[in-house]
Each structure stands twice: as C-alpha cells, then as structure tokens.
C-alpha cells in the first residue's frame, strides 16, 4: 500500500527536488504555502505531513498548530524539516508535539526511513480514525459523524476500524473475519448483514462500505454515487 504524504515548503526548488526523490517511496502532494495546504486539507487523509520550518506567511511552528487544531486532522505524524539544525529549533519542535525534526542535509534514504518509521508507529498505535467527517474513537469506543455520536455495535466498530486503516485499498474478507471473529466460522451473509446495518446508520457520511467489484473477496470504503 502506497503511503501518502504532504510536503509544505515555500521554495519551489525544494518542492521539486525533494518531492521528486520522496516520490520514489511515497505518493507526495506538494504545497508552496501553508494556507494553500490548509484549504485542501479536509479532503485529504495523509499518512504523514512534512513541514518546512522557515516560511514567510506561516512558519513551520504556526503551520503545525493550525494542523493539529483543524477538525479534519487525523492524528498523523507531522515532521519539521529545515537546514536550521539549532538546539532551539529542535526543542521547540518537540515541545509543540512534532514527532521528528529532519535536517535538510539528511540523505534521502535516511529521510525515507525516518518518515516510514513514524508512519508505521502511527498506524499501529493511533486511537482515532477519521475520514470525511467520520471519527472512530477506539479509546472511548464511540463513533461520530460531524461531531454527532452514532450508536454502533462493537462488531460494527471493529469493521469500521479495519476498513479505515486500510483505506482506500480495502481489506480481504479473510482479514476482516480474523480481526473481528478470530477462528470462528463466519458466512458471507453475516458480513453482508453487518455492512448493510452499518451503512444504514451512516447515511450522513459521503462514503459507504461494500463488497469490492474490482478486487474479488475484498471489502472496501467507497464514495457514494450522486443521485
């Protein structure tokens, strides 16, 4: 599964150069300013966000604060990148909550490894899953659509969780069964029933859950067709 990252930098040269090298390992969206990024942010679910420290409109610290306060933020790792490797810059980055500080002179291989490491940790340990107004809080065991709680069963919550983690690729029925029911024997009708019930409860969500038409034996989240 290709990992999706955003890279924000006010230097066109940096965007093109670093963006090109990172695209060998990730799907990369590049933004020339923080305001431009924030406008498109609600429609994107990134695995990591790379932010330049020194920018004229909003610096890296201000951008970080704007991202984490945004209702569409999914909790993904935010990494600060800069040629300013001072102790003060590093300390302030970590005090704000950035998960890493990358020196711009770092090799591409090391930078890729650092980003991948943070993404892997995030995917394993995140407690809130979100997509287009839907939030699954795995700590409180609650589901929300546009901040309104939706009552779901524990099985429905687990189904949502595994599909959100694998979005947009989808998950095989075998993995769904193992994650939710373990070694118990489960028929396709059981899975279809839970999908139907969950979709009925999530009518305000612009997506739906269905058995994939392209990947045989897969369950996926797709955007609803406009009628």
> How far apart are alpha carbons 197 and 72 in whole angstroms?
26
DSSP H helical ranges for 50-209: 60-68, 87-96, 108-125, 154-166, 173-181, 188-201
Sequence-ordered list of residues with C-beta below 8 angstroms from that of 181, at least 6 positions apart, any chain: none
Residues 211, 218: contact at Cβ < 8 Å?
yes
| Predicted confidence band of residue 227 (pLDDT cuts 50, 70, 90) | low
Residues 207, 164: contact at Cβ < 8 Å?
no
Over residues 213-227, mean pLDDT: 88
Instruction: Quickly tell me which residue has 């690729």 as its tokens.
Output: 169
Convert the pLDDT of each residue in 130-182 to its tens digit: 898 898 988 778 899 988 999 998 889 999 999 998 898 999 999 999 988 88
Give the CA angle between residues 31, 35, 40 to the nearest 5°: 65
For residues 70 and 199, which has the higher predicted lDDT (pLDDT)? 199
Convert the pLDDT of each residue in 36-58 to its tens digit: 999 887 667 889 999 998 898 88
Convert the pLDDT of each residue in 187-219 to its tens digit: 899 999 999 999 999 999 999 999 998 889 999
Convert the pLDDT of each residue in 117-134 to its tens digit: 988 888 777 778 889 889
| Predicted confidence band of residue 5 (pLDDT cuts 50, 70, 90) | very high
**Of 106, 102, 126, which Cα lies nearest the Cα of 52?**
102
Over residues 68-87, mean pLDDT: 82
Q: Kindly report whether the global pTM for this prediction surpasses the value 0.85.
A: no
| Predicted confidence band of residue 1 (pLDDT cuts 50, 70, 90) | low
| Predicted confidence band of residue 99 (pLDDT cuts 50, 70, 90) | confident
**Of 29, 28, 47, which Cα lies nearest the Cα of 38?**
29
The full set of domains in the chain, from first to last, is 4-125 (3.40.50.2300), 128-223 (1.10.10.10)
> How far apart are alpha carbons 212 and 227 in whole angstroms?
20
Over residues 23-39, mean pLDDT: 93
Tell me the two tokens of residue 117: 């490491």
**Of 49, 197, 42, 61, which Cα lies nearest the Cα of 130?**
42
Please give the share of the chain, as a percent, with pLDDT higher than 70: 98
What's the pLDDT score for residue 101? Answer: 86
What one-character-per-residue DSSP string does 19-49 give? Answer: HHHHTTTSEEEEESSHHHHHHHGGG---SEE
């Amino acid at each position: 599964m290709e990992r999706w990252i955003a890279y924000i930098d006010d230097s066109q040269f940096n965007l093109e150069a670093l963006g090109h090298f990172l695209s060998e390992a990730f799907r990369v969206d590049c933004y020339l300013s923080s305001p431009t990024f924030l406008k498109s942010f609600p429609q994107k679910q990134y695995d990591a966000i790379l932010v330049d420290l020194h920018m004229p409109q909003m610096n890296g610290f201000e951008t970080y604060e704007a991202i984490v306060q945004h209702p569409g933020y999914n909790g993904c790792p935010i990494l600060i990148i800069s040629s300013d490797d001072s102790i003060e810059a590093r300390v302030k980055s970590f005090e704000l909550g950035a998960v890493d500080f990358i020196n711009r002179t770092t090799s591409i291989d090391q930078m890729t490894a650092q980003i991948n490491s943070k993404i892997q940790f995030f995917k394993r340990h995140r407690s809130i899953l979100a997509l287009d107004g839907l939030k699954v809080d795995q700590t409180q065991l609650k589901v929300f659509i546009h901040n309104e709680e939706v009552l779901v069963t524990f099985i429905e919550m687990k189904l949502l969780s595994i599909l959100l983690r694998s979005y947009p690729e989808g998950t095989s029925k075998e993995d769904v069964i193992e994650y939710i029911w373990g070694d118990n024997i489960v028929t396709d009708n059981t899975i279809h029933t839970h999908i139907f019930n969950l979709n009925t409860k999530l009518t305000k969500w612009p997506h739906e859950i269905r058995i994939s038409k392209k990947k045989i034996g897969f369950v996926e989240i797709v955007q609803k067709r406009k009628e």
